[in-house]
Structure 1
Amino acid sequence: MTTKRYKTSEPYSGLETRIQMRHLFTTQMVTIFIPTTLINVISFATFSFKWFDFQNRIMVSLTALLVLSTLFSQVSSNLPQTSYFKLVDIWFFSSILFAFLTIMTHTVVEYNHHYNSNVDPNPKSSLSSFVPVKVTPVDFCKDEMKNRLKNEKLNIRLGKPLPEFLNRVGSTLILTAYMISFIVFWVVAFSQKIMEDAKIFPEEYNSVTRYPE
C-alpha cells in the first residue's frame, strides 16, 4: 500500500492511496494441495501390494477416489464460479484421473488372473486362495490344458506371469505420467505467481493533482 499527498490550496486537502491485492497461497497449500498429494500417494501405494491381492488393492483405491471427489466438491462450492478452468480445477481433475487409472489397472490385472479350480479347501490365510496351486494335467479338460500351455508360453516370453507384468507396466506408466503432470502444473503455477509479483500497475492519473481554486 502506498500513499501520496495532493498539492492543494486552502481549504482543500487530499491523499492518494493505492492498495495492491495478492493471493495468499498458504491456506490453499495446507487445505488442498498437500492433502490431495498424500491421497494420490496412498492410491499409488496399492501397487506395492501383492498383485493377486485384488480386494485390498481395489478397496484402498476406491476410498482414495471417493475422498478426492468429496474434497473437490467442497472446494468448488467455496470458490468463485468462472466459465474457464482454474488451476485448482485442473489439479483435482488430474488427481481424480490418476486414481481412476489406478483402479482400471487393478481391474485389468485381476481380469488376466486365471484362478485354478483346485485350491486348498482350508486355506491357512485369507490370501492363500489367490495364490495359484500346482495341479496335475489330469484334473483339466483339453481346453483348459490348451489355455494353460498358452499362458505358460506367454509367461516364459515375458519372464513373469502376465498379470504381474501388466501390474509393473501400469504402475510405471501411471507414475511417469503423474510426475510429468505434477512438474508441469507447479512450473505453470509458480510462473504465474512470479508474473503477478512483478506486475506494475499503470498510472491512471498523475500523482500530483491540483484541486480547483
Structure 2
Amino acid sequence: MITPRPMCRTGACVPRAPGYHSAVLRLRGAAHLSAPPRVRSAWSALMTYRRVVACLLTSLLVAVAAGPACAAPPEGADLTSAAAVDTGIPETACDEAVLMVVTGTISDPARMRSYGQAIQAAEIYPATSGYYLHIGQPIDIFEGDYPQGAFTVIAQFPCLEHARAFWYSEAYQAIIPLREGAADVLVRVYRKLEAPAFMRGRLEEARYIAFPPVDAIPRVH
C-alpha cells in the first residue's frame, strides 16, 4: 500500500488526499507516452544527463509557471547526488522492454470473455505499465493451418520485473481460475529488440520514459 506523501512546491506543502499518489503513479506513464516526439527524444538523453535536463523537461511537460531557471551544473558536480534536481519520476534500472506472448486455443468463449473483463476491471496493466500490442486472430495467414479457436495475445512491459509483477500479482492470480478449463495456453516472455539503424527516420517508436514502480503490488511469488 502506498502511503500518501505531501507535495511541496516553492516552499509550501499541500497534503495529498488518500489515493492521490497511487492514481498519479498509475497515470504518469501513459501521460508521458503520449508526449510529442521532440519531448520523447529529449527524454532519451536523460539516461546520461537526467539530472541536468530534468528541470527543463519537467517545466515543459507539466507547465510549471514559476521556479528557478535551469543552469548547467558546475564543473565536477556529482549529477547522481541526492542534492541534484528531483524530476519526480522514480529512478529505475528497468530499461529493457519485454514482450509477453500468450498463445492457445479457446474451448469456452463465454468464460474467456469474463476472464478478459476481470483483467480490465482489476487495472493490472496500468499498474505495471503494460499494454496490449495484439489481441485475437491474425489478419492474414502466410503459411500453415490456423487451428479453430486459436488466439494470440502480445503485451509489452518496461522490463521483465514489471511482467513478473503482473503475472504473479495477487490480483491476476485470483483471476486465473476464471479461465481454467476454458482454454489451453502457453505463456512466455521475450526481450524486445531495438529497431535497426536503417529504420531511423522511418518510424516513431513508443519508448518508456517514465513509469510507476511495482514494489507496492502484492504478489504471491
Task: Specify if TM > 0.5.
Answer: no
Q: Choose 1 or 2 for highest CA Rg.
A: 1
Bin for the TM-score computed over the shorter chain: under 0.3
When you count helix as a share of all residues, which structure comes out higher? 1
TM-score norm. by structure 2 comes to: 0.24
TM-score norm. by structure 1 comes to: 0.24
